[in-house]
Chains A and B, each alone.
Chain A
């Protein structure tokens, strides 16, 4: 049994690596179709538009831009295996150092936002299912169809308007109060670092700044959870064991949240992986609106400089996270439902 799961994970991991390498290949191919001239690529690395040809040729030599692109692609993939994502064109230091600072901030946002979104979705889904085809059900549907159809930035604006500007409960932008001294970067994840250092003022500031972006992300993604959990809850409510629970004399609340709810959870697990990918896209926009300086914000800035190693790095990191999230979801699915066999 254990060995079959190990075999399954190994097979999926190999598949994932092939998928990601293929993705890098496509992006590389596109970059080199668009900019076939190594000097044009070197120009991106040059800090000034007025550099001389000699300097550009130096840059070409330094980064090996004149090699045929399949060779460059091969080098990139080999470097990737040792965690080297190339050199940033703007800071001229390894990309992993640049983007690595921002990734944990985005992860904090996406994970907290997603947990919030799933909880909201499960709750509204359960409410909608237990009030099937009455005004509460239709009301829920109206709400989630709206949040689902609204652009992410509009939801961000409205959340900002209500909680930061009208009620003045929470800060409207930024990651943390910049006047506070930062704790030592032990793990690189600001929340964990501040807890480890016992710097509670910093931790509190981080949390306050995280609430609104995470809430926005939750509002953006809860609709999908609501829809699926409503459907699976309705399925569960029609089962014989629910009738049995009613016959035993349990109240409606006990039946819905005690008996049916747990059985309706299984399809949500797969959904979580799907929403993770969706949230990563939404985070780019949310970070832009809230000036939340995470990886998405960094990438949007990289766009204007055509800092292509940064964009490639971000793309690859997101791709990896999505693939891993999918794998974890499949394993959890098998763990939660003994009828599912991994093949």
Chain B
């Protein structure tokens, strides 16, 4: 058994006990699995590809910073001390300072002017750092909810079949017949009309739009696993549908989704930025990466950095997710030599 198979079992730990021929072999798998699994294994796997390692570092930095800044902003909200929210930033991202308006990127006053300033004299670096939590929350929340909804609907459709399958797949097709961005625009505008605008409306709109790909994924997985020997044997031993779904079908469907989800985190950030660029769901007092780019459009190309710099930051973060997602996909598909 090569490493790929071992990994396969490691990732599918729940089935090791059932699918392998007996309890003794499953414990063996667990033992050999421990050597290749775990954080250390994945780190060393990533380290073999320098680009993926760089991507991982950027992702960790992005998520770590987003968490720290989120805590700072929440503390500021709770204690009524707005200055806490930008205590860690080079400068206040929302204060007006017309003495320094439209300063091009430079190394003076490092790091405040690194990305230049906008018309209000606010440091773009501070604004980009301040806005990070929204993008991190959006990507994690949307992909998370898409996996949950897709898992629920897709597995139900694939495993139960019949008219339920037909209904769910028609719904999925209806959503997939439109580009996600167009549908997200439509849904967030509809939601915005009721007065629920801003960040949460966009989150809701994106989660309504995002699940169909995952539903397809999980349905295909459920269809292929449904007739596996271990599902049959579980049925024969008297398990009900729910138990089979929870113990066998779902745990076995997850791993191909993981790599796709990593890539998808980047796609969500792109779509979220595009919505903010169009002015959907933005709050005047809260900078957004996409919205800052859009504001810079009026001063383009004279103050080119205003429009381009936030976009470059988005690009770097999304590339990081793409590199890591690609590498994970190679691992899961098993076409890599280790």
Interface residues of A (CB under 8 A from B): 15, 18-20, 22-23, 26-27, 30-31, 34-35, 145-146, 148-154, 157-158, 160-161, 165, 277-278, 280-282, 284-285, 288-289, 299-300, 303-304, 306, 308, 311-312, 314-315, 318-319, 322-323
Contact = CB atoms under 8 A, between A and B. Distances in A.
Interface residues of B, number: 48
A318 B186 CA distance: 12
B178 A277 contact: yes
Given A19-B170, A31-B193, A281-B182, 10 more contacts: A20-B174, A22-B170, A149-B266, A151-B274, A278-B179, A281-B180, A282-B181, A284-B278, A300-B185, A308-B189
A284 B186 CA distance: 12
Interface residues of chain A: helix, strand, loop or mixed (majority):
helix
Contact of A315 (B170, B178, B323): B178
B124 to A, nearest CB: 14
A196 to B, nearest CB: 31
A39 B318 CA distance: 44
Interface of B: 170-171, 173-175, 177-183, 185-187, 189-194, 266, 270, 273-274, 277-280, 290, 293-294, 297, 300-301, 304, 307-308, 311-312, 314-315, 318-319, 321-323, 326
Contact of B315 (A26, A146, A315): A146
Interface residues of chain B: helix, strand, loop or mixed (majority):
helix
Contacts of B301: 160-161, 165
From A15, A23, A315, A323, name the one whose CB has the most chain B CB atoms within 10 angstroms. Answer: A23
A323 B179 CA distance: 11
Given A145-B323, A149-B266, A160-B300, A27 B190 contact: yes
B178 A322 contact: yes
A308 B188 CA distance: 12
B245 to A, nearest CB: 26
Nearest to A321: B177
A311 B189 contact: yes
Contacts of B321: 149
A281 B179 contact: yes
Nearest to B195: A34
Nearest to B184: A281
14 contacts: A22-B171, A23-B177, A145-B319, A149-B270, A151-B315, A154-B311, A161-B300, A281-B179, A289-B297, A311-B189, A315-B178, A315-B183, A319-B178, A323-B177
